[in-house]
């Protein structure tokens, strides 16, 4: 009951001309400069990985449910809130339209991004 205002059913990803803004409730978020995105692909977030802002093996995830997620590899780490400040060079983002998110970020980068296969 008391954690309700701090959580969110799903992450919010807003694509701006020079950055991607991530928010997940009051406890998680970050700003990823698009110039740092060097690789982009997809993965399936496992049910046992948990929900919310997660620090996982080699990446930070913003997920509201298990299933498809976009994966961004960065040229250098950025600071995100998870809920404490955390530096990460790989981010997973669950979205309603993962393929659309991947394409929008690739287009915003002018195609200067390496396509990753399905991540494990």
pTM for this structure?
Answer: 0.87
Output 2 or 69, whichever has higher pLDDT: 69
Nearest CA to 78 out of 102, 62, 65 is that of 62
State the Cα–Cα distance between residues 18 and 56, nearest whole angstrom.
26
pLDDT of residue 6: 46
Cα distances (angstroms) measured from residue 92 to each of 1, 4, 34, 60, 107: 27, 23, 15, 6, 18
How would residue 120 be classed by pLDDT, with cut points 50, 70 and 90? low
Residue 35: closest CA among 115, 105, 116, 117: 105
Q: pLDDT per residue over 9-46, tens digit each?
A: 578 899 999 999 999 988 799 999 999 999 999 999 99
* Averaged pLDDT score across all residues of the chain: 88
CB 50 within 8 A of CB 8: no
Tell me the pLDDT tens digit for each residue of 68-79: 999 999 999 999
Token pair listed for 64: 């509201």
């Amino acid at each position: 009951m008391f954690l309700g205002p701090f959580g969110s059913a799903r992450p919010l990803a807003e694509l701006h001309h020079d950055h991607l803004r991530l928010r997940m409730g009051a406890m998680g978020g970050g700003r990823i400069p698009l110039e740092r995105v060097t690789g982009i692909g997809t993965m399936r977030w496992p049910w046992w990985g948990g929900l919310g802002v997660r620090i996982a093996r080699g990446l930070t995830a913003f997920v509201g449910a298990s299933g498809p997620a976009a994966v961004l590899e960065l040229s250098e780490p950025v600071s995100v809130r998870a809920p404490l400040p955390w530096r990460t060079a790989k981010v997973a983002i669950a979205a309603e339209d993962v393929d659309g998110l991947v394409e929008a970020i690739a287009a915003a980068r002018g195609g200067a991004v390496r396509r990753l296969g399905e991540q494990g």
